[in-house]
Structure 1
Amino acid sequence: MDPRVREHAEIVVEHSTNVEAGDNVQIVAPPEAEDLVVALYEKLGERGANPAVSLGSDRALRAFKRASDPADFELPSHRMASIEETDVFVSVKAAANTNEGSDVEPETNAAYRRAVKPIGETVMSEKRWCGTQFPAAGNAQDAEMSTEAYEEFVYRAVNKDWEAQREHQERMVEVLDPASEVRIVSGEGTDLTMRVDGMVTENDHGENNLPGGEVFTAPVPDSVEGEVHFDKPVMAQGREVTDVSLSFEGGEVVEHSAEKNEDVLRAALDTDAGARRLGELGIGMNRDIDEFTYNMLFDEKMGDTIHLALGMAYEETVGEDRERNDSALHMDMIVDMSRESRIEVDGEVVQRNGTFRFEDGFEE
């Protein structure tokens, strides 16, 4: 077996989820990721844990959604029961065809998200969990890389010194956590302000998400004002949505457009009441992710970017006295901050053209 796969499994088990003897560990992975599942089972055996694996199949899920009446979707109680008995949950992404669900109606996907929402909420709030990526050929195709080049890209981003990454990102946490207001300016299409006072800034260094590499918080829901243009595409429901522009007033999206697949964007915004508000501001800081690959697990961590998520705010980012934006949607979209861009925190420029004020080369 490729030694990089075993190193990947070791990071998941020891760093990301800290598996202990006797833990019930549930792994959801597609067939393309079997090597990583095998390596995970080896590490879990060494730790005295109790693993179980479930097949993740985009083809099967597509077939189910297309055959179903969305009005019939309900919470699958047997899946919830399994989650309740789980101590550690590991989700592995890998695809033979990343567009497998592209012919499922957006409204059907929205209805399904609403039905299974409690499962995700339980995992994220009550369990130790990690979502990660195995470098499958389908994902390499999306990234326009050979399989070998994509493997090198993935392992460079994943198999790294996460303590050093944490220390680097902590400097941005120290700037953002006590802040009151953030302004994002990029090119002619983005000038957005939001309050973050009372919210909590998190340092993602490869625990819940592997790879990690971002600092993130939640905006005060009704505080977002202005316009944003997302100049990187987003893959949603198996379809590419490009050149998304949103206008906010009083925290809500009041105008929206997309160059391609605007119906997917519209359906996402109509998921529920919280889908028209922002649930996350994230700042990408993993400089080993230096190419856009149509995979949000990596793309949102890319250096010289920020991302904003429509919908659900993570509980850990919401202060005790603050409202949490609740939604079945969490849709990340990316702004390139490498040129004609700046991040202001309480009126002070803390990043210009991708360079932070605590880095060499920062221009006042």
Structure 2
Amino acid sequence: MSDTLKKAVTEALISIIPEGSEQNIVESGALGAVIVDGDQVGIILDFKDNAPHDVQTLRTLVENTAKTVKGVSAVNVVVSANKPQKEAPKMGVGGKSAPTPTNLPGVKHVIAVASGKGGVGKSTTSINLALALKAKGLKVGLMDADIFGPSVPTLVGSDEKPGIKGKVIQPLEAYGIKVMSVGFLIDVDQPVVWRGPRVMGATQQLLKDVAWEPLDVLVVDMPPGTGDVQLTMVQQAVISGAVIVSTPQDLALIDARKGITMFEKTDVPILGIIENMSSFICPSCGSESHIFGHGGAKETAKTIGCDFLGGIPLHMSVRESADSGQPIVACEPDNPISKAYLEIAETLKDKLSI
């Protein structure tokens, strides 16, 4: 059935000839792949050095054409193209040529907050870092790129649905920053069961189909690991730098190094490492204990030659504020933990020369 549907979609796409081209997208070789998952279809178009004149119009035309095929209920289209370059084409992970990333309109800097594994407090770090940058006088947005486990709706305490003007999604506003997450578009208990093409398409839409501008900084809360979302991000948008979040123990640091290596291979600068849960502050007596070890992230930063941005203690107030949708930097700005985030934000502001 999937082969039959794939053939039918491919035949339907033969009718599409991009403006300025003499061949349809199938004969020209622009049709990179048609991926069928039940009644859902993912289409990848790669125009290499011959970018179409109106990508959005073409994407819509391809989606609508594919939807006319019997048995197709949903279509997701990913379009990529390289800008002509005099030097050798940029290589992506695995040695394959990669699309050339572009600047987001009206966004001066994009910062990726990443980790090699889950459970290290990356999302909590992302929201508080975004709010700390806002407290430094910057216009800030927060994009939740964790498609399978979106946390931003909980962290900002909102279940609103974003508006749409034309084909542009209007981000929500929380605590003075623009926020957007796939979690605002689906029910909180609804699992996201998508394969690569749909994940890549959703990531691209969160980046480029959202009215982010004007922003000084867009903070992107990345999913853990080094998969489709990470590659889509570095191929679609110019990223000013990555902030790596890790806990002190060796296992987390090993995975953090993998994330660092991925960014280095894709020419994304490493702005530094944050050691989260660097120590435990007893809520009763205020004593400090290093229950996960201590100093591992700082030593790792020294070893790989990047900056150690600072350590964030493990404290009940951070967890409570995250669960209640009241980020600690916004609601308790004088808290020592908030001040730690503010110091890191000041460092990043200097690094980006804002």
Tell whether the structures are fold-level matches, with TM greater than 0.5: no
**Larger RCO of the pair (alpha carbons < 8 Å, separation 6+):** 2
The higher radius of gyration belongs to: 2
